[in-house]
Structure formats: C-alpha cells, structure tokens
Structure 1
Amino acid sequence: MNSLKHINIKKIIVTIVMFFCSIAFLLPFIWMLSTSFKIEGDVFTFPIQWIPDTWNMINNYNEVWFGDYPFYLYYWNSIKVAVLTTLVSCVVSSLAAYGFSKIRFPAGSWLFLIVLATYMVPPQASLVPQFLLFRSIGLFDSHLGLILLGSFSVLGTFMLRQFFMGVHTDLIDAAKIDGAGHWKIFWKIALPIVRPAVATYAILRFIWTWNDYQNPLIFLRTDELYTIPLALQKFTTINGEFYTLIMAGAVSAILPLLIVFIIGQKHVIEGIALGGVKG
C-alpha cells in the first residue's frame, strides 16, 4: 500500500512539473498570438495584456495577407513545394527502402553503406556543386529545383528501411509463390504494413520543407517564387517597427504546421508503436 502511495505521489509531482513546463513552453506562442490581435501601442504595455483591450485582428491579418507584400502568394508557393516534395520523397524513399531491405543483389549492403555515408557530409558542402548543376540545366530560380533538392532523402531511406525489415519474409515468399513480382509485393503487401511509418516520415518531410530557409535563399531569386520563410524574413525587414504585423505573419506561418501535426499525430503514434514491435 505504501509503495502504491509512493508511486501515485511521484506521478502527481511529475504531472505538476510537466504542466508548468508546458505552460512555460507555450507562453511565447500565446504572446505571439495575442500581439497579432493588438494595436501597435498596446504591444509593450506592462503588465502584459494577454487579452487585448482594443482588437485590431482584422486590420493586421488583412495587411499581412493582402497588403503590399501578400502572404497568400507565398503560402501557395510553400504549399506547392512542400506537398510535391513530400509526395515524391515518400515514393522515392519507400522504393529505395524496400529495395535495400527485401531485394538481395550483389554488393547491396555495401551500396547501402555508401548511401548512408553521404548523410555524414554537411549539406553546406554540396551547395556550390548543386548551385552550378542546377544553373547549367535550367532549374535555378524555379520551384522544380527546390522540389528535386528535397525529394531524395538518405534519412528517409534509412528510416523506412528499418520498418520494411520488420515485414515478415514469409509474407514475401508466399506472394512470390503466388506469382507476384516485387512491384506488386511492394504496393499490395509491404507498403500497407508500414503505412504508419510512411505517414510519420511524410509529416516530418512536410515540416522540414515548409521550414527550409537555406535552399530557397540560395536557389530562388524572384520575389514571386519566395516561400514562407523567405517572405517572412523580408516582411520583417520591411515592417521592422510594426510588431503586430510581424506577429500576425509569424502566426500565419506556423498555422499549417499545427494543422498537419494535429491531423497526423495519430499516424506518428502508430509509427512509433510499429517501430517498437518487430516480427
């Protein structure tokens, strides 16, 4: 009985500590959201007005979305690049992961080690060769170039390979006896089994692409092609004295990430569970 009380007290203490830690983590986001609703004169009032006395939400967000530097254009650019990059990357990484895990071919293990070793090379080291290559083939200053840059992921291949290795070989062998080839086995058997893992990687890939600042900065020159990170940086430079507009832009920038995570968190949990149970 005493041990149970001790465990319950420990859980209560941990819960209280985590609660206050979560509040401390959320405070900057709450302040950002609150500031985006205020008039400029109320931003730095003390004590902080978490609920504004004067609401200016419509004007702030209208200026961000439809003003001189319209966010709806950059939203469309980011959505296009992030969605297409995620789709292509999931297909490519899944096919590569299946090939490395379920198809035996000469030097397959060595080839996978070579692919994995490329992950040790800092991305900055390959920027100049990529820049020269994309400029020579006409993909510089284009969304197609950005999509191709993010479509081939060593981390995605490695991550999904670990899950494909958990697919029972007996299922693969039974399908081969029934006359199925690797393409059919991949689409009909292996991929549905590891779907939570693919969904988890898709969420991560979308977030990485949406937040990517380096590649758009290097490979884009035309303002109309900018993605959200570049647009937000330029918007901040132009409106450096208007914190309400900057916070409205920041809230707009992170909103799709929150939506994607809320919708996809179930798949993330399933992916973690799948990784913990291997056959």
Structure 2
Amino acid sequence: MNERLVLNHQTVMDRLVPDKPVLIAGPTASGKSALALRIAAEQGGVIVNADASQVYACWRVLTARPSREEERKNPHALYGHLDAMVRYSAGHWLRDVTSYLSGGARPIIVGGTGLYFAVLTQGLADIPPTPPDIRARGDRLELSEMLAALGDQTRNRIDSANRARVQRAWEVMTATGRGLGAWQEETGPPALTLTAAQPIVFDVDKEVLNARIERRFDLMLAAGALDEARRVLPDYDPTLPAHRAIGAPELIAHLNGQLSLDEARTAAITATRQYAKRQRTWFRSKMRQWSAYVP
C-alpha cells in the first residue's frame, strides 16, 4: 500500500496554502461541500462546482446544491447555470472551469464527478463532437449492447455501470472508429496539475455514508424534492443527463403512479448508495496521489 497523507478537519485548515487552488472530491453525502464552505469563509476563494448534476437549474434540493443563503455568503460558480435540455460534457465543464484558474479569487473546486477532476488534472483528448444521429441511436440502446461494442482497453477505463460514461465511449467508437482509450492516450497537458493544487479526497466509512445518505434523502423530501420533480414531470426525458440525476427517476415514477412514495424513497436511497459505492471505488483507484480526508 502506498503512503498517503491522511487529514482530519483541523489539519486540513492548518495545512492549506491560502493562494493555492483546492480540489475537494468525495462521494455523495460525504460532507465535502461543508468543508469547501469553511475554507471559503476562513481563507476566501470562490467555490466552483465539479458535480455533473448540480450544473442544472431544475434541481437544487434533489442534488444538494448549495442553498441560496450559502451562495449569498460566499462566491459560487457553475451551479445551476444550465437548462435541463443542455447536454453538458466533461469537455464543456473543463472549458468553463479553466476561466477560474487564471487569476482572481482562489478556486475551491468541489464535487463528486471523478471524470471532471480527471480531465482537469490529467488533460482531455481532442475527440470530435458526436453527430446527433449517433447520439440518438445510443439513447435507444441497452447498456449491455453498448458495452459489447467496446474494446477491453476502453471497458477497463470506464465505470461500466454508469450509462452516461458507457454511452459516451460507445458514441466515440461509433463516430470515429477508435476507442476512447486510444484517444485518451493522445491527451494534451492538463489545465491544472496536482502539484499546482491542494487535492483532497474524502474517505468515508461505508456504514456511516449509507446512514448519511438515508437521512439526507429524507431531508430532501421534507425540503421540496418532490415539488422539484413535479415541475420537471411535463418535460421529463430519461435520455437527458439532467433528468438522470440520482433520485429523479424514482420520484418521477411515483408521480406517474408507478411507485408509492415509500417505494420511491427506498429505491432512490438504494440508487444513491449504489452510486456512492461506484464513486468510492473510482476515488480509491484513481486518486491515490490525493490526500485522504477522514471526517
């Protein structure tokens, strides 16, 4: 096992260099946003979103976006800035986040989308855009069909349970005739190296995290998550990245009369726990050079 710096809350604050960018990754419901808020409050900086669902305006409660009060207290960026109809990729996010790296307030980049941090610190391959007809074909395919079309090199690089990632890899293969792995081997230099930043990844006990996920979803329901889903319902499209936010399909199923609210709650909590498990696996595999934060 490689040596790794393990931090707690106070040692994080003691070790941070105020002018150096901070990266905070972690599974859903781990408390990473609270750490980002404390850093911003005590040292200054702009909190920049690195979560693929929190970019969409249609979800605040369901994706645990910062509250309006938190946004008033500290500068925030790339939260809720997109319409649900927009298909936003890691490349789009990289383009947007780069503007916060070149002067001004120190960026505190926080989120749970491992791919965002990967393209930021490892670079992004210059892959041609996917033609709309190929994307439409992918939307209609089963996950297993797309996986079967991928080579071993690509399958080993992606989360095979994450439909969005698998579909992206399938689209690249179909549109260009080359696997995602082959494109990634030609990646240019990163926008931000790990040595130029202060990278922190949350390492939370599974049982603790599962309990937090259940409590948080109940708080989401109490805070109006079902009302958010009700507003989305008329335009709901399960092929849109925005509408695949964790918990959204289950609440939509309840509103369509397919599940009771209790069944939707249980299914959403289960889906969130499964997602958190995939996140923890990614972070432990891909972020061995990051300092581990144990709350």
More strand by share: 2
TM-score with structure 2 length normalisation?
Answer: 0.25
Higher helix share: 1
Larger radius of gyration: 1
